[in-house]
Amino acid sequence: MPDQTLRVCALYPDLMNIYADRGNMVMLERRCSWRGIGFALTAAGLGDEIDPEAHDLFYLGGGQDRDQQLCAQDLVDTKRDALHAAAGRGAIVLGICGGIQLLGDHYELGDERVPGIGLVDLKTVRAIDGTRLIGNVAIEVELAGLDGPRVLAGFENHGGRTTLGAGETPLGRVLKGHGNDGRSGFEGVHHGTVIGTYLHGPLLPKNAWFADWLLATALGVAPDSLAPLDDALEDAAHASARRAAGV
């Protein structure tokens, strides 16, 4: 029986899962297994209530507009209060692509306003001309417990333009790519243990160091306390993602 278990709640894994983002859950499970850490994955779909005390990490991926709209209203109706409570006690809430949009106040789709759950102060507006911000991307981030800045590399493909409120902190600074809006030079959002980003494809297999940071933070331990692993393949994947982005 493992001494520790990472308890993960995947929100709408059947609807909010494009660009192979289910691979993020596989990556976390493998990093745990190789270290003898337990891994418990729970799915929460439309209409399912969630227990804010029962999970260490809540994960919300991206989806097509129609699916995202379905999930947005369900988040507000059945999960918003629990996610606020979970974040308040220090659980990780990770939103990727469409997920970052739903963590904020709202997403404007033309004349329609899709509600968010207000965990962070941001809003997203779909580009009027329909253009999308697409391509490989790399950002520089600084996170507690790490010895200096690190690079996250991934892929972005979003029609929304996300603007952070004055009191919010971006996840990172854009080195290559578009970021939240193609203008600000910022990417994602980082508010306590709530993290949103447009990087996917999927994100964690390309950035093993970030998977470990999430794992350690969710378990309440220092990242450097995790047992080291042979990451030759993971390092090669990260280097390849960086090269694709031009970093």
Give the pair of three-digit tokens for residue 70: 């379905």
How many beta carbons lie within 10 A of that of residue 8, not counting itself?
25
Catalytic annotation present for 200: yes
Q: Which is the catalytic residue, given 178, 190, 200, 238?
A: 200
Residue by residue, DSSP assigns the chain as --S-EEEEEEESTTTS--TTTTHHHHHHHHHHHHTT-EEEEEEE-TT----TTS-SEEEE----HHHHHHHHHHIIIIIHHHHHHHHHTT-EEEEETHHHHHHSSEEEETTEEEE---SSSEEEEE-TT---EEEEEEEEE--TTSSS-EEEEEEEEESEEEEE-TT---SEEEEES-TTTSSSSEESEEETTEEEES-BSSSGGG-HHHHHHHHHHHHTS-GGGSPP---HHHHHHHHHHHHHHT-
In a 3-state reduction of DSSP, which class is residue 35? coil
Q: Which is the catalytic residue, given 9, 32, 71, 97?
A: 97
Catalytic annotation present for 9: no
Backbone angles phi, psi at 34, to 5 degrees: -65, -20
Indicate which residues carry an active-site annotation: 97, 200
